[in-house]
Amino acid sequence: MAFPDAKFSDIESYANGYFDHLNQAAASVDRQKLEEAADILTKVYTHGGMVYSCGNGGSAAIANHLVCDHCKLVQTDTELTPRVVSLSSTVEIITAIGNDISYDEIFLYQLRSLAKPGDALITISSSGDSENIVRAVQWARENGVSVISMTGFSGGRSAELSDVNIHVQAENYGMIEDVHQSIMHLLAQYVRQTHMEEELVKDRRF
């Protein structure tokens, strides 16, 4: 599913090819893994635990966006009160750890300070192999924190180490991130609507 594999002369044909491959990438996501991820999030949200998210670059933007949709949206019209923190948004401590210790420790260090058994970590990484992501996953698994990883390409070490790996079969960063963003949204929307009164679902915007 590599794209592009040749040079395009017009944006219409590029867009057609991009969206065709994007649809294939979305179709590659294992729906059972989505169910397992939703179950983990529901359990944490129901029992008052914390959910932490993290990623680098464009994946950091998805991790930050996740806080809005999972904290604010899921709470609307439900009795759930999600507690969500993005470890990618804390620029002060990220730069302190990166400068004084190692960039590889920026997420692990924060988790060690904040997370408790019963919490959950969502990692977003196209390669699945960024060292700071892998170290956070390893610590979480060793300390009773459930891990949901979103990956692409070959999946990397985080795919192997996590409790639930939601993998996007694609070879294009943009497409992988597009699908990861959709997964972030649909998990929030699914959990929300399962905890809403049925008559409210059709009257609300998601």
- DSSP secondary structure of 141-170: HHTT-EEEEEE-TT-HHHHHHSSEEEE---
Largest CA distance in the chain: 54
Q: What is the pLDDT of residue 199?
A: 87
> Which positions ≥6 away from 140 have C-beta within 8 Å?
111, 115, 121, 146, 147
Residues 133 and 74: beta-carbon distance below 8 Å: no
Neighbours of 98 (CB within 10 A): 15
Residues 136 and 123: beta-carbon distance below 8 Å: yes
Query: Model's pTM, two decimal places?
Result: 0.96
**Residue 25 token pair:** 């990438």
Residues 151 and 126: beta-carbon distance below 8 Å: yes
pLDDT (tens place) for every residue of the chain, 206 residues total: 689 999 999 999 999 999 999 999 999 999 999 999 999 999 999 999 999 999 999 999 999 999 999 999 999 999 999 999 999 999 999 999 999 999 999 999 999 999 999 999 999 999 999 999 999 999 999 999 999 999 999 999 999 999 999 999 999 999 999 999 999 999 999 999 999 999 899 889 89
Q: What is the pLDDT of residue 1?
A: 62
Round to whole Å and give the CA distance between 206 and 89.
25
Round to whole Å and give the CA distance between 164 and 137.
11
Residues 143 and 171: beta-carbon distance below 8 Å: no
Q: Which domains does the chain have, with CATH numbers?
A: 30-201 (3.40.50.10490)
How buried is 199 (Cβ within 10 angstroms: 0-12 exposed, 13-18 middle, 19+ buried)?
exposed
